Structure 1
Amino acid sequence: MTQWDVLKSLDTAYLEQVQDLYSLDRLPMDLRQFLAEWIESQDWNLAKRDPQVARVTFQNLLEHLNNQYSRFSHDQAILEQHNIRKIKQDIQACYQESPTEFAKLILFFLEKERNIISAAKDAEQSLTEQTPHAILETPRHKEIEQRVMEVKQKVQAIDQDVKSLEEQQEIFDFRYKNYQAQVSSNQAVQHQLKNVLQSMLNTLDRSRKVYFSSHQEILARLKELLGRCETLVRFLEEELGEWCQRQQDACIGRSLDVSLSHLETWFTGTAEAFFQLRRILNDLVELPAKISYENDPLRTDPVILQARVNELITCLLKRAFVVEDQPNQLYQPCMSPPWPRPLVLRTSVRFSVSTRLLVKLQELNHSLKVTAAIDNNAMTTKGYRKFNIMGTLDKMLSMDNVLKKGMVAEFKHLTLKEQRAGVGGKGSKGINEVLVTEELHVMNFTVKFKYQDLELELEATTLPLVIISNVGQQSSAWASVIWFNLLATDTKNLAFFSNPPAATWARLANALSWQFSCATNRGLDSEQLSMLAEKLCGTNPKPRPESLVKWSRFSKESMPGLAFSFWTWFDGVLHLVKAHLENIWNDGYVMGFVCRATERSLLKRKRTGTFLLRFSESCKEGAVTFSWVDHQETDKPTVRSVQPYTKQDLANIPFVEILHSYQILADENIPENTLLYLYPDTPKDEAFSKYYLSNNRENIEEYRKYMKRRLIMISERPPDMMPPLQLNEGEDMEPTDIEIPEPPDFSVLSLMTGPDDPMMPVFKFENGDDLY
């Protein structure tokens, strides 16, 4: 069963995601349908790396389209024939000269399809494992659950008591009317009925007084219950506030559970009890309208309690309307990064957002309309940009989403368009000379709540957004999102960056680690964070958890001796890892954030050939290098490094292949393998062999007709290039004792076509076949 067949068998909600994916108009769904099996059988990763493979694969795809065209022509399927011809013409026009881009496009769509399938499987497993009584996570959750049940039970008990009062009053009312009908006809009967009615009235009065004379009386119980309800609402508000904080942290990369299932259960149960209590009080208010007497407590107290209940319901409902999924741009292959970065929106690029009402009542399904807007309370400062939202701005709250199963309104395919009238515009500065990437906006959602005889207007707002107009602003905008959600105490403070607070290193370190754990499966360890702390806080004094980092130091000011900021460098490294080093990063093989002096301190006492992988400190867009230790005749350690490899370099050859085939020319130009043991002492092939291309035999037969080639990475070793690091016996150099500049470029990529050169290594399979 192909991946495409699995997709087609998913539930409606996931099929909509597939339709959304292919609505990007970058890959025709008909092409995916017609050639599903063939597309999934190709090695698009290899095609992405090798232009020749990409060209062959692209020509094969065109040939398959020709075959499909002929089959439709034979079947007289004119419409399908027309579609095939147009698909072929379109992809030839776009990708004939750049087949590797087409391979990247196919990889993107296949990966997104796998994500949809994975999400569907996870949801199915979650539903399977779900039990009727979910295990609560904390003692506080248990207390809230207990209070909700207690309130519902007490309301139900009071409801029964009030119904008993109503029944007694109805019986009295019925007999009183009979008495009035018979009183003029028979004086004896009149006297008898009057005595009966008096007795009944006395009984009714005693019943009311019983209820209102002790701690068991209805009004006293109602007052006590309302006090507990107020406490419960306060607990729910605190729990919702903690969820909002978790959502903020999750938006900037922290792995947290932001499910609303518990809150929805508690809010719904509480609201149901409140509405029942509200009905009870309405009934109590109506009782004296039929029968009352002097000093009747039902004339005054229920009215006061009604106001308190209405206040509690209003407070509960206004907090129950939330933005469940913050605005998130729909990712496109031409835009980076390929992992979620919500709250950064680019004009004219589609995004989605969803709201949720935590009071889930069946009677409200499809009856409440949510309306979206932006910047309802916009800043009026000169230069502050204004935007229009394009798309469907009205959605009904419904329970149709099979995954969320709540009162949800999802807004999909929205876009933003800047208003051109007046001052401001692209590139303009906002409030107090704040840059565009520091200018904050919010989306507003309103819903007119109507249930029973209660009408309210509920409002929810997103977290502040940063709106950009080009991809180049995305990194800086994301830095602003991180800083705001890490430090803002008021999420509606749109002037935050007019005077941004400093961050403690302890908090900032967590956020930096989240960036890696979100993009990959591995965060930053204490040693890596220590190196970053020194870059941001300096070394004198030594950085401490409470050390402060200013916003300008983090994102705006250039680092000493360099022409770019810390964040620009850090984000460049993150993109490099995600695009080219993710597998070996997740395996823990990339030490990464380690300064050159510390690197030499670690390697100096290791055996010859021990190497480690670190990120360049001087490359703006991120680069990776390796350094190894060598012992000459004097047995003194020399630490050598190769010029860092950038994203452009690694787009042509995988980094593990560089490690695999790297050699250095020793005396008399004899190649020498210098990378033997990954720090601290893991043999190189033991660590990296599973990623070598020579261990991948897929599609090799397709390239048998080509001339052999051999690939090898070579560095020359001029005698005066890097003098050995001399250490006296017993001397222990600290990382801060030495500062060595980045070495010059002495890496060479050699492509040899002759099969007889003994210096050129060839990738070999176990059966003797060559890889070429």
Structure 2
Amino acid sequence: MSLWTKAQQLQGEALRQVQAVYGEHFPIEVRHFLAPWIESKIMSDVDPDNPQHEQYAASVVGALIQELESKAQALTNEEFFLTKIKLQGAAEMFRQRYSQNPLGLLRIIRHCLGTELKLVQQAENMSLGMSSNPAALLPDASGEILQQLDILRQRTQETSEDLRRMEQEQEAFALEYHELTKIQANLTHLQNQAPSQQRNDFEKQLRIKKEMSEHKLNVKLAELLQMRMALAEKHKETLMLIENLQARVLDDELIRWKREQQLAGNGVPFHSNLDSIQEWCEGLAEIIWLNRQQIKEAERLRAKFPIMQANNTDHVPALNTQITQLLSSLVTSTFIIERQPPQVMKTNTRFTAMVRLLVGGKLNVHMTPPQVTVSIISEQQANTLLKNDKMAKGEASGEILNNTGTMEYQKASRQLSVSFRNMQLRKIKRAEKKGTESVMDEKFSLLFQSKFSVGGGELVFQVWTLSLPVVVIVHGNQEPHAWATVTWDNAFAEPGRTPFVVPEKVPWSQVAETLSTKFRSATGRALTESNQRFLASKAFRNPNLQLPLVGPEAGNLMLTWSQFCKEPLPERNFTFWEWFYALMKLTREHLRAPWMDNTIVGFIGRKQTEDLLKQCLRGTFMLRFSDSELGGVTIAWVGDSSEVFMLQPFTSKDFAIRTLADRVSDLKHLIYLYPDIPKDQAFGKYYTPFTDSQTPTNGYVKPLLVTHVPGWSSGGGNLETGSYPPTPQGFYNPQSPEASMGRDTPSVHSATSETVHSSFYPSTQTGQPNEVSDSFQDFMSQVEELDNLEEFQMDLNTMGVMPPGMTHFKS
């Protein structure tokens, strides 16, 4: 089935989009009557922007016109009379408009076919249940912009021809004026001669010629002045169209791309259309440059023949100023950061970035490749830069190594860009802090600057662009709060803001969406509505919060920045964000696969866990994130008499020793994953393979570490008989971290053979969050490197400090 046949079967908005993509530039009747020919002859590998393909494009356009005329002649029935006229008119229009620009027509046809194909594929995917995204059927901006560019190219070609005719008329006027001066000179000469009949006859002839010449000059002058006015008016209209289209490309499409790039920092999928935006900007640059050259030529012709009509204003100088401003705006706005530097930047750590000039190739900037320099500036300096459009020389807030690069032109992709691969922030100068501000609240930005000329040095541009906000840290334990600052800024920055102002409070629905997106990006699965409700109760410090997730009431609940990452949670020494970030990090590094398989419930309260498990068979268990331990996951299970137990939370350190799946496998009293899934079915594919036939290669037998809950999972008969031991009262944890929740659910310790590591710095889990100085953090990062080299291990069993039965080995 042909593409056009499939396109005709589309319905609703999709069919309307197919109709909208065709117009006067390429009538839909042509597509309909020449469908097989168009789909077979328009080669997909032809690049409309490659001049080397122009000869092929010219042959295609010529063949298309012939095919169109033949088809029109074949329509002899009266019912096709209007269609015949339409096809003949299209053939003539193609001949006039695209004979000198065949690649332009090819570009339009390929765009139309591409739009059809996209809409057909979307419809087919939706019919198969593969897509439910209504945004996929939004109007195609690319097609509209390409159509407007084609209209502007056509207008530019027309004004070029008008300018050429005006120059010819002006030259003809000059020749006629020269003839008139010769006649006048002859008359003057005759008047100095003695009167005679012959002189009188000759003088009479000259006066007739003079009158005719003066009349002709007056007519030509009127025509010339009219041509000047008409050309200026045409240029004025063209500039208005350029200005409107440029505003759409720069203020809508490019700003949207930048916003989507910023949201990608929070994990939102980023489908970059930067190459399309470059194509539009290059089209604008070419059109603006050609019109600017025409306006300058019109100025030259006027200066050569400075005659003005009375009471008429000369608009050409104003047009020249306007077109130059449009070019300047286009050039400065298209100096963009294609690959952003890291938004959480650690000192003395290598980082990368990439900047690109979208119109650099079209304006031949690469003929003298410009240099780009990078510096880091504060929020206040960024404000000053936006107000004054310049920075004081040498003013920066830090020192960056390898901060200069030369832009390079890639001929295949037509991209002028520079990639910084080895930058490093050596020093940072911070502002004074006020109130509860910390160094992780402070935002900086990387400033990229360059200077180059176009048009053989005629115009010189100084361009600059700012990166997304950057938070500078000197130690890894500053990372969570730094990411809170970045996440809030990326999600809630408003268009056109003063750098880098963000709202102090935002609707919870937006926060929930941000957290879900970030969690999905890190772990592979988004948060459910139930997860979001639990997070809301956590963030608002209200376990009984009844939260509407949809409707107008959902937007009324506002979460403040302080609640998000400043104020500790009740009876805890960490904030909501620190708790969430630690769980996201744990899941990403150790629990990604089980989380994606929905074997981890995770975000669920202790009481709700108990209520659910009490209704289940004994041995049913659930995995939930700990309320009390940063980055902890606990196993809750139901024992005899529907009593629910909670295992002391496991953290990243535990999973670095033995995985979650293997620990679940070790605990034989865990039988069903909630609600009733056999645990081997849920976790079996994640078990670490082990065979008794393993032979040592170094003379030693490698032990196997096994998780053990005293009183519950001894290796004896409980497993075989299916019986459960009495409630292990001796192993309750009366000082459980979660005891403060007001629950009487027993918390049970598990034990493994573990190693003891020396540590030079205090635990971050105790005490209230402190503001640690950069210098101390910098010192600690150096100590940490020594610490990794000097760690030592002690076997607790051999030292006699662990009770017998707490661990056992299989070998």
TM range (shorter): 0.5 to 0.7
Instruction: State whether residues 288 and 298 of structure 1, in contact with CA within 8 Å, keep that contact through their aligned partners in structure 2.
Output: no
Q: How does 1:267-282 map to 2 (within 5 A)?
A: 267-282=281-296
User: Which residue matches 2:159?
Assistant: 158
% identical aligned pairs? 27
User: Which residue matches 1:606?
Assistant: 616
CA distance in 2, matches of 1:614, 1:433: 33
The 1:398–1:642 alpha-carbon spacing in structure 2 relative to 1, beyond 3 Å, is same
Deviation per residue, 1:599-654 (Å, 9 max, x gap): 1222232333332211111102x111222234x4xxx4232222111111111111
User: Which residue matches 1:728?
Assistant: none
User: Which residue matches 2:122?
Assistant: none
Equivalent residue in structure 1 for 2:426, among 417, 426, 431: 417
Instruction: State whether residues 566 and 575 of structure 2, in contact with CA within 8 Å, keep that contact through their aligned partners in structure 1.
Output: yes
Aligned to 1:375, what secondary structure does the other structure show? strand
CA distance in 1, matches of 2:221, 2:563: 77
Aligned to 2:580, what secondary structure does the other structure show? helix
Aligned to 2:408, what secondary structure does the other structure show? coil
The 1:292–1:429 alpha-carbon spacing in structure 2 relative to 1, beyond 3 Å, is closer
Aligned to 1:713, what secondary structure does the other structure show? coil
Q: Residue 555 of structure 1: CA displacement?
A: 0.9
Instruction: State whether residues 375 and 396 of structure 2, in contact with CA within 8 Å, keep that contact through their aligned partners in structure 1.
Output: no
User: Which residue matches 1:581?
Assistant: 591
Q: How does 1:53-68 map to 2 (within 5 A)?
A: none
CA distance in 2, matches of 1:179, 1:704: 113
Aligned to 2:468, what secondary structure does the other structure show? coil
Equivalent residue in structure 1 for 2:321, among 275, 288, 307: 307
User: Which residue matches 2:447?
Assistant: 444
Q: How does 1:627-642 map to 2 (within 5 A)?
A: 627-630=636-639, 632=640, 636-642=641-647
User: Which residue matches 2:517?
Assistant: 514
User: Which residue matches 2:149?
Assistant: 148
CA distance in 2, matches of 1:750, 1:290: 96
Aligned to 1:640, what secondary structure does the other structure show? strand
- Alignment of 1:505 with 2:508, yes or no, is yes
Q: How does 1:61-460 map to 2 (within 5 A)?
A: 135=115, 138-139=138-139, 140-173=141-174, 198=214, 201-202=217-218, 204-208=220-224, 211=227, 217-236=230-249, 237-295=251-309, 300-328=314-342, 343-362=343-362, 363-365=364-366, 366-375=368-377, 378=380, 387-400=397-410, 406-418=415-427, 429-430=432-433, 434-452=437-455, 453-460=458-465
Instruction: State whether residues 152 and 270 of structure 1, in contact with CA within 8 Å, keep that contact through their aligned partners in structure 2.
Output: no
CA distance in 2, matches of 1:448, 1:492: 26
Equivalent residue in structure 1 for 2:477, among 458, 472, 475: 472
CA distance in 1, matches of 2:278, 2:665: 54
Deviation per residue, 1:389-428 (Å, 9 max, x gap): 33233323332397x75222222212223367xxx6xxx8
Deviation per residue, 1:495-542 (Å, 9 max, x gap): 748xx5112111111221222222222222211111111101224542
CA distance in 2, matches of 1:268, 1:444: 24
Matched residue count: 572
One-letter code aligned to 1:204: K
CA distance in 2, matches of 1:485, 1:161: 51
CA distance in 1, matches of 2:410, 2:399: 25
The 1:637–1:745 alpha-carbon spacing in structure 2 relative to 1, beyond 3 Å, is closer
Instruction: State whether residues 356 and 408 of structure 1, in contact with CA within 8 Å, keep that contact through their aligned partners in structure 2.
Output: yes
Q: Residue 180 of structure 1: CA displacement?
A: 6.5
Aligned to 1:645, what secondary structure does the other structure show? coil
The 1:694–1:518 alpha-carbon spacing in structure 2 relative to 1, beyond 3 Å, is same
The 1:457–1:555 alpha-carbon spacing in structure 2 relative to 1, beyond 3 Å, is same
Q: How does 1:719-730 map to 2 (within 5 A)?
A: 719=726, 721=728
The 1:392–1:709 alpha-carbon spacing in structure 2 relative to 1, beyond 3 Å, is closer
User: Which residue matches 2:780?
Assistant: none
- Alignment of 1:692 with 2:687, yes or no, is yes
Aligned to 1:289, what secondary structure does the other structure show? helix
Q: Residue 301 of structure 1: CA displacement?
A: 1.7
The 1:405–1:392 alpha-carbon spacing in structure 2 relative to 1, beyond 3 Å, is farther
| Structure 1 unmatched runs, 5+ | 1-129, 329-342, 664-673, 724-737, 754-758, 764-770
The 1:303–1:696 alpha-carbon spacing in structure 2 relative to 1, beyond 3 Å, is farther
Deviation per residue, 1:413-465 (Å, 9 max, x gap): 12223367xxx6xxx85356521001111222222242222223222111221
- Alignment of 1:571 with 2:581, yes or no, is yes
CA distance in 1, matches of 2:627, 2:666: 25
CA distance in 2, matches of 1:324, 1:741: 55
Aligned to 1:158, what secondary structure does the other structure show? helix
User: Which residue matches 2:94?
Assistant: none
Instruction: Supply the RMSD in Å over aligned alpha carbons.
Output: 3.9
Bigger shift: 688-697 or 550-559? 688-697
Q: Residue 319 of structure 1: CA displacement?
A: 1.9
User: Which residue matches 1:732?
Assistant: none
Q: Residue 228 of structure 1: CA displacement?
A: 1.9
Instruction: State whether residues 230 and 312 of structure 1, in contact with CA within 8 Å, keep that contact through their aligned partners in structure 2.
Output: yes
CA distance in 1, matches of 2:748, 2:182: 114
User: Which residue matches 1:550?
Assistant: 560
The 1:196–1:661 alpha-carbon spacing in structure 2 relative to 1, beyond 3 Å, is farther
One-letter code aligned to 2:257: W
Equivalent residue in structure 2 for 1:560, among 551, 570, 583: 570
The 1:708–1:281 alpha-carbon spacing in structure 2 relative to 1, beyond 3 Å, is closer
Instruction: State whether residues 753 and 807 of structure 2, in contact with CA within 8 Å, keep that contact through their aligned partners in structure 1.
Output: no
The 1:229–1:708 alpha-carbon spacing in structure 2 relative to 1, beyond 3 Å, is closer
- Alignment of 1:625 with 2:634, yes or no, is yes
The 1:459–1:227 alpha-carbon spacing in structure 2 relative to 1, beyond 3 Å, is same
Deviation per residue, 1:291-314 (Å, 9 max, x gap): 243408997121222222223222
Q: How does 1:523-534 map to 2 (within 5 A)?
A: 523-534=526-537
Aligned to 2:707, what secondary structure does the other structure show? strand
Instruction: State TM-score, norm by structure 1.
Output: 0.66
Bigger shift: 261-270 or 482-491? 482-491
One-letter code aligned to 2:418: A
